[in-house]
């Protein structure tokens, strides 16, 4: 059966400072590079066959830590980018709450399209679903590691599992350099498709 490991990138100064990244190309910081190296050591033991990554540097550089251990090349896919956060990109969450109180409240409540130019959850799910499905075809019956972003990972995994937005919201956010494991059990079970096997897997004590 095909195994899909959806891996979030390492820490950035935006993460550490409570700043919205979205599709801003914020690089890994020193902690993020250390996280990537530690996470890559665990993932390498799972013997991945294919590496696919968002083209944003924080994801690609995280994937590079695994590529260095496995000798695999990285296939870049812009569809794996984080959700686009419109007017909020690069801003502190505290400032966003003060400047956009209505939109912020809708976003916190899970509104799929809260305004301020933020990409809708439906649009995010569609591009992430297509990217994950395409990644899975690169190693049928093998293990594919997909390096992406927190919000994109959650929405993409939920879409692959066929969950509605209300259910996807119950899935906790991935910690930096942690991953979700999905397996396509179609052949074994006669048509049940993708199943969630594990979530927020990574180095113990590293968030």
82 is catalytic: yes
CA angle (108, 62, 207) in 5-degree steps: 50
Domains of the chain: 2-84+119-201 (3.40.50.1240)
H/E stretch holding 97: helix 93-99
The span from the CA of 187 to the CA of 87, in Å, is 45
9 is catalytic: yes
> Among 143, 136, 170, which residue's Cα sits nearest to residue 155?
170
- Give 152-182 pLDDT, tens digit per residue: 999 999 999 999 999 999 999 999 999 999 9
Cβ(54)–Cβ(77) below 8 Å: yes
Which residue among 82, 103, 119, 181 is the active-site one? 82
In angstroms, how far is CA 41 from the centroid of its own chain? Answer: 19
The span from the CA of 205 to the CA of 38, in Å, is 12
Question: Dihedrals φ, ψ of 85, to 5°?
Answer: -105, 25
Which residue among 9, 60, 175, 178 is the active-site one? 9
- Give 102-136 pLDDT, tens digit per residue: 999 999 999 999 999 999 999 999 999 999 999 99
Region label for 10, one of left (φ > 0), alpha (ψ between -120 and 50) or beta (otherwise): beta
Work out the average pLDDT over 143-147: 98
Write down how long the chain is.
207
- Give 36-92 pLDDT, tens digit per residue: 999 999 999 999 999 999 999 999 999 999 999 999 999 999 999 999 999 999 999
Beginning with the edge strand found earlier in the chain, give each strand of the sheet holding 179-184 in spatial order.
74-76, 50-53, 143-148, 2-8, 179-184, 194-201
Work out the average pLDDT over 170-197: 86
In angstroms, how far is CA 60 from the centroid of its own chain? Answer: 12
The span from the CA of 197 to the CA of 195, in Å, is 6
């Amino acid at each position: 059966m095909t195994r899909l490991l959806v891996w979030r990138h390492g820490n950035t100064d935006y993460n550490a400072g409570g700043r919205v990244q979205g599709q801003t190309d914020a690089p890994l910081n020193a902690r993020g590079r250390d996280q990537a190296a530690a996470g890559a050591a665990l993932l390498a033991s799972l013997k991945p066959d294919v590496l696919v990554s968002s083209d944003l540097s924080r994801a690609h550089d995280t994937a590079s830590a695994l590529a260095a251990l496995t000798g695999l090349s990285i296939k870049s896919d812009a569809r794996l980018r984080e959700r686009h956060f419109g007017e909020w990109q690069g801003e502190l969450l505290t400032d966003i709450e003060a400047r956009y109180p209505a939109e912020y409240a809708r976003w916190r409540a899970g509104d799929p399209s809260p305004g301020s130019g933020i990409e809708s959850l439906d649009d995010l799910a569609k591009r992430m679903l297509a990217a994950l499905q395409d990644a899975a075809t690169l190693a049928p019956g093998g293990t594919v590691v997909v390096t992406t972003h927190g919000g994109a990972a959650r929405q993409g995994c939920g879409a692959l599992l066929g969950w509605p937005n209300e259910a996807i919201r119950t899935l906790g956010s991935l910690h930096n350099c942690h991953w979700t494991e999905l397996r396509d059990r179609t052949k074994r079970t006669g048509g049940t498709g993708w199943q969630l096997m594990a979530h927020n897997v990574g180095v113990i004590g590293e968030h």
